[in-house]
Structure 1
């Protein structure tokens, strides 16, 4: 028989002992094992946990007394968050845990985001929170494969409503630990960004061509959270090469859209010296939350309601110049080989001549600004085609093959 999967159960046992103990009991009832971690500051659990609050604080280079003496719950919880993240990473490295579940309100959730981000992709990470899915959770703090469950009726004490959430969460994390197939490909991984095939086509040609060359290809949906996952993996040097062609999230963040991948979008591959090819798919649009009214300053613009969740609004020529400057500034810090592929005839299916969002003047303004600001460390390749034309994909593959031949990208594996 295989050993039972061990789940790290973390939370403030001084205030949520009953709830955390119930969660642990449900995991054990399904044949799992539990390692309990107390992240309290002032109080103590009813019975000792496997990992005490003192051990947590010390793992972060501090002490419980320091947290208490701060007389500030925010400072104190950040001390515990740092220790919880460090301790969780250590436990995983020692093969002592197979998954983690953290319980909390805003304080516990703040800590949970740090703890989950300290664990690699493929380790089941569940957060049961009273603020799951809330807009107060910044995309850049969410681990690439984090799972969240809304803790309904769970602010104070056990009841039948919150037990429903907790029991499902117990089954979810243990089931995930048993079923997970963690990333462990023998082939070099290519990270690519895109949108659906109605607006961008290149991945249809590129993915099978790269797979035939012996690479694995992961395509990320660049609508905020997809870009966040892409950036977090790029920061971990998970990719042998990056094909970051759907960079619209840079403009989204610049324009203050809620559909953001964070301020560090388009920087992590460069910071990790990962070879990167960049293109400006949908640079001309800002994505907005579709069920919210358009801001007054954008209400008279041409727009496309993609569905009830997402509406894309066209940027002005000046705004496109600003996007070009921002992209150039981000690429200027890259430490590895960087190429910018600029399709001068358009960058999404809606901006072709005759299409409803076509703006030749805006496209020209973006291209001219990019030519002017493209940094010296970035090779600019101007392509007299549209991003959805076969010529774009063929140019990408030709450049990729050159990088492989030069040893910039490792060779594929059969």
Structure 2
């Protein structure tokens, strides 16, 4: 038997949640559905597995939240539900989680899913805001969103169809997850993360194929789009990766200059904190990412811009910004050394991206030199190995050598 958690606000969405519960049962009668009430007002119903009162008493040590502002209610109920769902997951008692609601319910459910459950566990939200900007909902996780089309406010044929589809999807995902948990044998392959951007793809392809063909390694390629870097670092913290070849650290540029693909100030921290084998390079740090050209901030309109595609405009990193990227990397590496954790930094001086090679549209020797010199000087009096290489980052031989350097850190043999 599989078990699914259904989380929702029973004081406002009970009929819709009960329909969704039945949709899951109809798709797979062997699925047990546990409804957790996270509403503002308490509701009594035989279908509720954990009532609002029980949730507050057990995990919040309070009796009522109805006097709190709406935003505070969402945060508090999410905190309580996270504790319960985490307990159920750690006890191997659940195989999927689903919710349905508006913006408030979506916010609440997404917090629970992000905080309590790992990547790979089935998570689905039927939401009125699933067709808009969803980055804050999904973040770096694998939450599946299904647009409700109409509001989750009274059953009608459109909503019944959507909820029926969602119920069938969750029943299938939960059954598949339960089956995997029973049959999945632990792999002996080492799990290696590689960061990639379009302008470093040739190098990543060489690295990936070399590692997987020659060693007992499975590679995980992360697109350095902001959420990609965050997803990698989340997996590291969950214990899901054994080593990192952080070839493409372009997200640092976006963090420092206000681009749209920032992974935040904690970029690089996870691997260094975990102490797993890692190599840091400076792939695609010649650019900050913005949307269509018209969306580039006015203060950057006179800069060197490159239209990567109609949806992405790249801005060439200046000499000062390049030095700031170098300082960011140096600071993180030095901080890790204080905890006894070491890494390597590789500098491909022949071009840090496909378009910054000599005669490329982003060729800027002064900016690149500022980046390299900042890192070299910052780490000069340390035991960190800084590798200066005259080749470009996408040179196949460079890709081969940096891959072998990571293998040496991992102490692998053919």
TM-score (norm 2): 0.89
Matched, 1:145 2:142: yes
- Alpha-carbon spacing, 1:255–1:358, altered in 2? closer, same or farther (3 Å): same
Matched, 1:337 2:342: yes
Matched, 1:390 2:396: yes
Counterpart Cα distance in 2 of 1:47 and 1:21: 11
Aligned to 1:34: 33
Q: 2:369 aligns with which of 334, 359, 364?
A: 364
- Alpha-carbon spacing, 1:231–1:106, altered in 2? closer, same or farther (3 Å): same
Contact 2:42 2:52 in 1 (8 A): no
Q: 1:172 aligns with which of 165, 169, 173?
A: 169
Q: 1:400 aligns with which of 387, 400, 406?
A: 406
Q: Indicate the larger mover: 150-159 or 98-107.
A: 150-159
Counterpart Cα distance in 1 of 2:129 and 2:379: 42
Aligned to 2:129: 131
Matched, 1:210 2:211: yes
- Alpha-carbon spacing, 1:401–1:259, altered in 2? closer, same or farther (3 Å): closer
Aligned to 1:90: 87
Unmatched segments (≥5 aa) in structure 2: none
Contact 1:6 1:96 in 2 (8 A): yes
What pairs up with 1:6-405 in 2 under 5 angstroms? 6-31=3-28, 32-58=31-57, 60-65=59-64, 67-68=65-66, 71-117=68-114, 118-132=116-130, 134-135=132-133, 137-138=135-136, 142-180=139-177, 184-196=186-198, 199-211=200-212, 212-290=214-292, 293-334=295-336, 335=339, 336-374=341-379, 376=382, 378-405=384-411
Counterpart Cα distance in 1 of 2:397 and 2:299: 37
Contact 1:259 1:289 in 2 (8 A): no
1:292 Cα offset (Å): 5.2
1:320 Cα offset (Å): 1.3
- Alpha-carbon spacing, 1:223–1:26, altered in 2? closer, same or farther (3 Å): same
Q: Indicate the larger mover: 227-236 or 388-397.
A: 388-397
Counterpart Cα distance in 1 of 2:303 and 2:161: 46
1:126 Cα offset (Å): 0.9
Aligned to 1:408: none
Q: Indicate the larger mover: 115-124 or 171-180.
A: 171-180
Counterpart Cα distance in 2 of 1:100 and 1:28: 14
- Alpha-carbon spacing, 1:94–1:309, altered in 2? closer, same or farther (3 Å): same
Q: Indicate the larger mover: 272-281 or 124-133.
A: 124-133
Q: Indicate the larger mover: 258-267 or 311-320.
A: 258-267
- The structure that is helix-richer by fraction is 2
Contact 2:82 2:112 in 1 (8 A): yes
Q: Indicate the larger mover: 36-45 or 52-61.
A: 52-61
User: What is the CA deviation profile of residues 93-140 of structure 1, one whole-angstrom value per residue up to 9, with x for unaligned ones?
Assistant: 22221111122323222222221121122210112222226447437x
- Alpha-carbon spacing, 1:113–1:265, altered in 2? closer, same or farther (3 Å): farther
User: Secondary structure of 2:295's match?
Assistant: coil
TM-score (norm 1): 0.89
Contact 2:192 2:242 in 1 (8 A): yes
1:289 Cα offset (Å): 1.9
How many residues align? The count is 401
Q: Which runs of 4+ in 1 moved over 6 A?
A: none
Counterpart Cα distance in 2 of 1:229 and 1:49: 34
1:303 Cα offset (Å): 2.5
Counterpart Cα distance in 1 of 2:39 and 2:196: 43
User: Secondary structure of 1:216's match?
Assistant: strand
